[in-house]
A and B are shown apart, each in its own frame.
Chain A
Amino acid sequence: MAKLNEAAVAQIEGICDRYKNEKTPLMMILSDIQNEYGYIPLEVQELVSKKTGISVAEIYGVVTFYSFFSLTPKGKYVIGCCLGTACYVKGAQIVIDRFSELLGITPGQTTKDGLFTLDALRCIGACGIAPAVSINGKVYPKVDVEEVEGIIESYKKEASA
């Protein structure tokens, strides 16, 4: 636990306390932590284990089961490329490959400068605008492979502004 500072410990304990009356609080606690910090490292899982009595191995199992949870920090901009059936047949694979090529990372990885994380998503329910890409909640419809470079540049510009 040595790596966590006091403020973080207090905040995570606070999150655990929010759901102390729930029968099965784990998913809600982990969701809040994921949203708050962007990832759930082992030290944080140990703290959650102490607060809830759920074993670390079980928490780790849940964190690694759901792709929504992450063990490592995500980038400032999380690029989610939908690879659901509709997007896939509309060329989503070429789109995500282009992101991969330009950012130099494979899906699931984060760029060294901490700016971008590339995620492959299963259907995000936007089949009408396939292929869809979602970046920090903003959805890009009918993405053409030629647009990818421009999208990346716009975020780089935003970050350096």
Chain B
Amino acid sequence: MSLINIKIEGIPYQVEEGLTILEAAKKCGYEIPHLCYFNHGECSQGSCRVCLVEVKGARGLVASCVYPVNDGMEISISSAEAVAARRRSVELLLSDHNQFCQACDKNGKCELLHVAIVTDARSGVFGGSHSEVHLDEIAPGLVRDTSKCILCGRCIERCKNAHGLGILGFENRGFNTFVSPADDRSFEDSPCIQCGQCVNVCPTGALMEHSEIDKVDHALRYGKKIVIAQAAPAVRAALGEEFGYKIGTPVTGKMIAAMRRLGFAKIYDVNFGADLTIMEEGTELLGRLKNGGVLPMITSCSPGWVNFAEYNYSDLLPHLSSCKSPHQMQGAILKSYWAKQHDVSPEDIFVVSVMPCTAKKYERQRDQLKVNGLSDVDAVITTRELARMIKRAGIMFDRLPDEDWDQDIMGDYTGAGVIFGVTGGVMEAALRTVYFKLTGKESDPIEFKEVRGHDAGIREASLDINGTTVNVAIASGMKSARVLLDDIRAGKSKYHFIEIMGCPGGCINGGGQPYVREFFLPNEDDDILDTYKEKRAQALYSEDERMTLRQSHKNPQVKELYDKFLGEPNSHKAHELLHTTYAAREGYNEIKLS
């Protein structure tokens, strides 16, 4: 890599060739305001005109996010003309922007407001028309409100990069342009998997999770039901970020303390459900191996992935494990076993799941997951929504004591459950138990590090367990998953067991997790966009290491549950409560009127 000489504000620097001005300036210590540019050029349309700088000899100002540096280039970021132009660009964006900022859930994390402050942009400078508003609040997982959209195209690129899907696109032309699924459909009436990756990259509040805070409020304040909360493993690895903790700081104890102060009657860890999932799924896998069942078996914990399969690979649905996802299983147990133990009716229990995920909001409404017409889970809030509730309640998170989960009936969990939150985690947890079932002893070392990772892409391993060869593969993000799925379709797959997660990196990078924006995180390293997934994953692996019980089959309360209630894994009762079915779905052809 050769170095070239450039000057910024007259000061000489040496930078690598091939960088854009924006990237080069960053290395020299300048943050040029920008909006449409994102994540090393994952999106850089050069369309927002917020990153304009002056380059000596160039015709007019140039968009620094797409303009490459060259030897001898003289750049001015703070020339009067560049400063005025950047301000004008932002003022033009503001002129057609919904400015009810105080009512916007993105407030505090809004990049448009950030650049407006940085560029000193004033609102109301330009009058004129407002473009027509397209509002989609029909889908359970996601909300699209084009009155806040700045047409940067990040969501479009993320959907393509993560999943090869491209659900969103620009429609119409000129001032009438808006971003939408084809035909201005709701996400619900398109083959969108509602994973929320688009929400994670949206610079404004145009794409958001479909909030269920109101529903939870109502249950807590006015309802007569027992409101029980359960939190997924990935939440503890990221919630702290909302309260100024460094990325990768596990905040399990404070999270529980905060939830208790919000008024939940009981607070349980979805890890119990994860352990239960391993017992069911591990048994299902061993059964398929022994009895010549459909192989490879594929995990079914991720509702984003299940949606994708139903839309795009419905011929492969028999490969999916029939297991419900952990929080659904746990909800079903709460409304059966727990209800019986506490002598309450299932109808009087309101289960709130705290999830790193927007697709879970869709999942909980699925008919296939109901038991006797009753949903396992009554509301799903994301990590971000939990943070909003904590802030709203005036709880000073960092001053909270570390508290523990409620311990009765389903308080125990193992390290195997914890690692569900990262790509490869379900696989590793399953292997720990499958190893035991096949050999009668625990694996040594306990870990199966070959399946670990923290990003999209495919990993594979071949394990010899007591003479049985088990070939496994892991993929996250639908783009990676397609490769494995196409092999199965072509009859070329050599695997017995595949873990697929919807979001690249798994739940730690779910669509409901805190936003990662380097300029809102002054205490993080410069490369935080490249390392946050690894850091969050590490938070989970370290919790696993601290646990004394690290295999699902060792969870004493799970054992008790089987002894007293379910019988054995995959029993008739277990199937009734903990397993589900799938069905092919048409993408654009069905408009659901509900």
A interface with B by C-beta (< 8 Å): 1-3, 42-43, 45-46, 54-61, 64-65
Given A2-B589, A45-B182, decide whether A55 and B169 contact each other with a Cβ distance below 8 A.
yes
- Contact with B156, one of A42, A45, A57 (Cβ below 8 angstroms): A57
Q: By the criterion CB–CB under 8 Å, are B589 and A57 in contact?
A: no
One digit per residue, 1 when the CB lies within 8 angstroms of any chain A CB and 0 when it does not, for chain B 316-351 equals 000000000000000000000000000000000000
Q: 10 closest A-B pairs (Cβ-Cβ)?
A: A55-B166, A57-B169, A60-B182, A61-B169, A56-B182, A57-B182, A61-B170, A65-B173, A64-B172, A58-B169
Residues from chain B with a CB closer than 8 A to the CB of A59 are 182
CB of B167 within 8 Å of the partner chain: yes
CB of B165 within 8 Å of the partner chain: yes
- Contact with A55, one of B160, B172, B180, B589 (Cβ below 8 angstroms): B160
Residues from chain A with a CB closer than 8 A to the CB of B165 are 55
Q: By the criterion CB–CB under 8 Å, are A65 and B167 in contact?
A: no
Q: How far is the CB of B185 from chain A (nearest CB, A)?
A: 9
Residues from chain B with a CB closer than 8 A to the CB of A45 are 182
Q: By the criterion CB–CB under 8 Å, are A57 and B587 in contact?
A: no
CB of B530 within 8 Å of the partner chain: no
* Residues 142 to 196 of chain B near chain A (Cβ within 8 Å): 156, 160, 165-173, 180-183, 190
CB of B67 within 8 Å of the partner chain: no
Residues from chain B with a CB closer than 8 A to the CB of A54 are 166
Residues from chain B with a CB closer than 8 A to the CB of A64 are 171-173
Residues from chain B with a CB closer than 8 A to the CB of A58 are 166, 169
CB of B436 within 8 Å of the partner chain: no
Query: 8 extra interchain contacts, Cβ-Cβ under 8 A, other than A45-B182, A60-B171, A65-B173?
Result: A42-B183, A46-B588, A46-B589, A55-B160, A55-B169, A58-B169, A60-B183, A61-B169
18 A-B contacts, Cβ less than 8 Å apart? A42-B182, A42-B183, A43-B588, A46-B587, A55-B165, A56-B166, A56-B169, A56-B190, A56-B587, A56-B588, A57-B156, A57-B168, A57-B182, A59-B182, A60-B169, A61-B169, A64-B171, A65-B173
Residues from chain A with a CB closer than 8 A to the CB of B180 are 57
**Identity of the chain B residue whose Cβ is nearest the Cβ of A56 in the assembled complex:** B182
**Chain A contact residues, majority secondary structure:** helix
**Identity of the chain A residue whose Cβ is nearest the Cβ of B167 in the assembled complex:** A57
Given A55-B165, A56-B182, decide whether A61 and B171 contact each other with a Cβ distance below 8 A.
yes
Residues from chain A with a CB closer than 8 A to the CB of B169 are 55-58, 60-61
Residues from chain B with a CB closer than 8 A to the CB of A1 are 589
> Considering the chains assembled together, what is the distance between the CA atoms of A57 and B588 in angstroms?
11
B interface with A by C-beta (< 8 Å): 156, 160, 165-173, 180-183, 190, 587-589
**Identity of the chain B residue whose Cβ is nearest the Cβ of A46 in the assembled complex:** B588
Residues from chain A with a CB closer than 8 A to the CB of B181 are 57
> Considering the chains assembled together, what is the distance between the CA atoms of A64 and B183 in angstroms?
9
Q: How far is the CB of A17 from chain B (nearest CB, A)?
A: 21
Q: How far is the CB of A84 from chain B (nearest CB, A)?
A: 17
Q: How far is the CB of B486 from chain A (nearest CB, A)?
A: 13
> Considering the chains assembled together, what is the distance between the CA atoms of A42 and B165 in angstroms?
17
Q: How far is the CB of A83 from chain B (nearest CB, A)?
A: 16
**Identity of the chain B residue whose Cβ is nearest the Cβ of A3 in the assembled complex:** B589
> Considering the chains assembled together, what is the distance between the CA atoms of A109 and B407 in angstroms?
67
Given A45-B182, A46-B588, decide whether A57 and B166 contact each other with a Cβ distance below 8 A.
yes
> Considering the chains assembled together, what is the distance between the CA atoms of A3 and B586 in angstroms?
13
> Considering the chains assembled together, what is the distance between the CA atoms of A42 and B181 in angstroms?
12
Q: How far is the CB of B585 from chain A (nearest CB, A)?
A: 13
> Considering the chains assembled together, what is the distance between the CA atoms of A29 and B387 in angstroms?
49
> Considering the chains assembled together, what is the distance between the CA atoms of A43 and B300 in angstroms?
30
Q: How far is the CB of B162 from chain A (nearest CB, A)?
A: 13
**Identity of the chain B residue whose Cβ is nearest the Cβ of A1 in the assembled complex:** B589
**Which of B168, B171, B182, B588 lies at the interface centre, i.e. has the most chain A CB atoms within 10 A of its CB?**
B182
Q: How far is the CB of A69 from chain B (nearest CB, A)?
A: 11
> Considering the chains assembled together, what is the distance between the CA atoms of A46 and B171 in angstroms?
16
**Identity of the chain B residue whose Cβ is nearest the Cβ of A2 in the assembled complex:** B589
Residues from chain A with a CB closer than 8 A to the CB of B587 are 46, 56
> Considering the chains assembled together, what is the distance between the CA atoms of A91 and B160 in angstroms?
48
Q: How far is the CB of B581 from chain A (nearest CB, A)?
A: 23
Q: By the criterion CB–CB under 8 Å, are B589 and A65 in contact?
A: no
> Considering the chains assembled together, what is the distance between the CA atoms of A2 and B590 in angstroms?
11
> Considering the chains assembled together, what is the distance between the CA atoms of A64 and B170 in angstroms?
9
Q: By the criterion CB–CB under 8 Å, are A65 and B172 in contact?
A: yes
Residues from chain A with a CB closer than 8 A to the CB of B166 are 54-58
**Identity of the chain A residue whose Cβ is nearest the Cβ of B182 in the assembled complex:** A60
> Considering the chains assembled together, what is the distance between the CA atoms of A3 and B588 in angstroms?
12
> Considering the chains assembled together, what is the distance between the CA atoms of A41 and B333 in angstroms?
47
**Identity of the chain A residue whose Cβ is nearest the Cβ of B172 in the assembled complex:** A64
> Considering the chains assembled together, what is the distance between the CA atoms of A43 and B182 in angstroms?
11
Residues from chain A with a CB closer than 8 A to the CB of B588 are 42-43, 46, 56
**Identity of the chain A residue whose Cβ is nearest the Cβ of B589 in the assembled complex:** A2
Q: How far is the CB of B54 from chain A (nearest CB, A)?
A: 33
Q: How far is the CB of B415 from chain A (nearest CB, A)?
A: 40
Q: How far is the CB of B60 from chain A (nearest CB, A)?
A: 26
**Identity of the chain A residue whose Cβ is nearest the Cβ of B176 in the assembled complex:** A64
Q: How far is the CB of B304 from chain A (nearest CB, A)?
A: 17
> Considering the chains assembled together, what is the distance between the CA atoms of A59 and B165 in angstroms?
13
**Identity of the chain B residue whose Cβ is nearest the Cβ of A58 in the assembled complex:** B169
**Identity of the chain B residue whose Cβ is nearest the Cβ of A71 in the assembled complex:** B183
> Considering the chains assembled together, what is the distance between the CA atoms of A65 and B174 in angstroms?
9
Q: How far is the CB of B489 from chain A (nearest CB, A)?
A: 15
Residues from chain B with a CB closer than 8 A to the CB of A61 are 169-171
Q: How far is the CB of B177 from chain A (nearest CB, A)?
A: 9
> Considering the chains assembled together, what is the distance between the CA atoms of A59 and B182 in angstroms?
8
Residues from chain A with a CB closer than 8 A to the CB of B183 are 42, 60
> Considering the chains assembled together, what is the distance between the CA atoms of A50 and B182 in angstroms?
15
Q: How far is the CB of B312 from chain A (nearest CB, A)?
A: 11
Q: How far is the CB of A24 from chain B (nearest CB, A)?
A: 16
Residues from chain A with a CB closer than 8 A to the CB of B156 are 57
Q: How far is the CB of A30 from chain B (nearest CB, A)?
A: 14
Q: How far is the CB of B311 from chain A (nearest CB, A)?
A: 12
> Considering the chains assembled together, what is the distance between the CA atoms of A65 and B166 in angstroms?
17
Q: How far is the CB of A16 from chain B (nearest CB, A)?
A: 18
> Considering the chains assembled together, what is the distance between the CA atoms of A46 and B311 in angstroms?
13
> Considering the chains assembled together, what is the distance between the CA atoms of A64 and B171 in angstroms?
6
**Which of A1, A46, A61 lies at the interface centre, i.e. has the most chain B CB atoms within 10 A of its CB?**
A61
> Considering the chains assembled together, what is the distance between the CA atoms of A60 and B181 in angstroms?
9
> Considering the chains assembled together, what is the distance between the CA atoms of A84 and B191 in angstroms?
41
> Considering the chains assembled together, what is the distance between the CA atoms of A1 and B191 in angstroms?
14
Residues from chain A with a CB closer than 8 A to the CB of B171 are 57, 60-61, 64
> Considering the chains assembled together, what is the distance between the CA atoms of A45 and B589 in angstroms?
12
